[in-house]
Amino acid sequence: MTPTTPALDTFVSSVGTIVRHEHDPVMIVKQIEPLLGDVLRDASAIPPQFKRPDPNRYSQYLLHRARDEAFSVVSVVWSPNQSAPIHDHGTWGVVGVLENEETETRYRRLDDGSVAEYAKLEAVGTFVLREGQTSVILPPHEIHRVENRSDRVSISIHVYGADIGSLTRHVYDPDTRHVRSFVSGYNVPEEAPGP
Q: Which domains does the chain have, with CATH numbers?
A: 6-182 (2.60.120.10)
CB atoms within 10 A of CB 139: 14
Mean pLDDT of 115-139: 96
Query: pLDDT at residue 55 above 80?
Result: yes
30 membership: H or E segment, kind and range: helix 25-40
pLDDT level of residue 195 (50, 70, 90 thresholds): very low
What is the chain's mean pLDDT, rounded?
Answer: 94
Query: pLDDT at residue 92 above 90?
Result: yes
Confidence (pTM): 0.93
Task: Answer whether 143's CB lies under 8 Å from 87's CB.
Answer: yes
Task: Answer whether 75's CB lies under 8 Å from 160's CB.
Answer: no
For a pLDDT cut of 70, what percent of the chain falls above it? 96
Query: pLDDT at residue 1 above 70?
Result: no
